[in-house]
Structure 1
């Protein structure tokens, strides 16, 4: 369904969608509004009340933003896992060093043998627990981050194409009779921080 919006590169009224989408997307027309609401909740399509009705559209760049958010979350999760991984390794090494030191004491302090054995048993339990925790974070794979970085590079390359689509959509709204003031308000609402306030167009990035 999203691909239908993106390929059309125009906004659609609910009446247009009720006629076209059931056959294009093989969905029950009675459930169309539920599907549209679900896509809107997932930020995969835009909806704006213009005039007396709602208009729906979607750019390829919309999905890229969703993917970028997922990439940022994955990066944050990886950083947290890596930090935990390093911390667990350090604790495991300290515990093993401590245990080895206590084993040496067994030969030199026989009168403290029971206390040392009890401490040794506790340390072994701690080491086992740390090892289990370490295994939990052992799946953090740097190669996966490298793959995602390459995907991000491709997203930036695609940005030029998506900008053209945005301006194409603006032209379509103009042809539908949206005046300059109305279009300016729509830009401010949709583009947010991406809008160059002085020029009234999307900001350019290197």
Structure 2
């Protein structure tokens, strides 16, 4: 099975048409150029579009004489065109190099600022933590200041009385356990389990 031939791209067609004009160093009318280009693999239907694109890009010259359009491209003209294109590309390269240099200078300028920004962010976080701690301390201070001496003494006395009451009950529990052990000949663990008395129960100092 034969493979279908790939059609030529626009750039390939442009190169063929321009080469015909340069090699022959003749002035062509469009029909003559279509005939010559078709022999090189460029379809006649596409020659007009190709020629117009070359004229628009100043790769070939054209002029209208009477009712016909004429096209040509001499070697000297092609050389000048390539020289202009080269100069344009050199200018573009220089422009890009200048922009790149400016970017590198900006990076050097911004790098210390970026590091300072990180340090500033760290210090800011530490400051927020310290402010939070300070707020908590101020709340505690306000709480302590709101308690006058009389209130503190009263709270201290209430705590003392509560401890004494707890210790009395603890003493009563231990006495009850001791009595039951002797009276009913039971183990302490059995008594604690039966009465639901924790092993951790102890006196408060």
After TM superposition, the score normalised by the length of structure 1 is 0.44
TM-score (norm 2): 0.44
Structure showing greater radius of gyration is: 2
